[in-house]
Structure 1
Amino acid sequence: MAELDPIIHAESRLRIVAALATLAQEDQITFPRLQELLDMTAGNLSTHLRKLEEAAYVGVEKSHRGRTPVTYVALTMRGRRAFEDYTAQLRALLGA
């Protein structure tokens, strides 16, 4: 059996990826909304998003809504596949 993906397996990153996986493939969520949903501090969320972004599991897009900066977060195709593989491996492990 393959090892569980260590990038996703960390509790906070698993929560982030699981939350993003509930969105439709092309949907994004704002950083503050994701922070609120996960009840995480901005610094903690940023740190884990950076790790997921380095692995190309999430995309982070910064733009402006009027004059206000806004950050959008989305699961990439690679991230979605990694999460699907992770959950399949976990199911196999639990079913064994």
Structure 2
Amino acid sequence: MPFKELARIDKLVHEPARLAILNALAACHVAEFLFLQELTGLTKGNLSCHLSKLEKANLVSIDKHFVRKKIPQTTVRITPEGRAAVENYWKNLDRIRSEIENLKN
């Protein structure tokens, strides 16, 4: 049943803020923390918390460094595992949606 599958969808990716982060990162090579914050509308603390969860699951990699030895900069990139998770998420969601549509007919 598609409804049971929907209840079992990957919750790490499905959470709206993390889904926005992963899709933004899937569309670019690397993103700066402040750019992701602006793009998603999340607070610094909220974005940091979601990125930590994604990093712990190896879906993103985070690099903290200094620009001109003074300005701290955090960059984030999606890992191959993260890219696969996003692709699988959308594939599964499309399949489930299609199965639900077929039940209507």
Q: CA RMSD in A?
A: 1.1
User: Larger C-alpha radius of gyration, 1 or 2?
Assistant: 2
Residue type at the aligned position of 2:47: L
TM-score by length of 1: 0.92
Task: Please report how far the alpha carbon of residue 91 of structure 1 lies from its aligned counterpart in structure 2 after TM superposition.
Answer: 0.4
Question: Higher helix fraction: Structure 1 or Structure 2?
Answer: 2
Residue among 41, 44, 56 paired with 1:42 = 44
Segments of 5+ residues of structure 1 without an aligned counterpart are none
Q: How does 1:4-43 map to 2 (within 5 A)?
A: 4-23=9-28, 27-43=29-45
Task: Please report how far the alpha carbon of residue 21 of structure 1 lies from its aligned counterpart in structure 2 after TM superposition.
Answer: 1.1
% identical equivalent positions: 39
Match of 2:61 in 1: 59
Count of residue correspondences: 93
Match of 1:86 in 2: 89
Task: Please report how far the alpha carbon of residue 6 of structure 1 lies from its aligned counterpart in structure 2 after TM superposition.
Answer: 1.3
Moved over 4 A (4+): none
1-structure distance, mates of 2:79, 2:93: 21
Residue type at the aligned position of 2:75: Y
2-structure distance, mates of 1:45, 1:64: 20
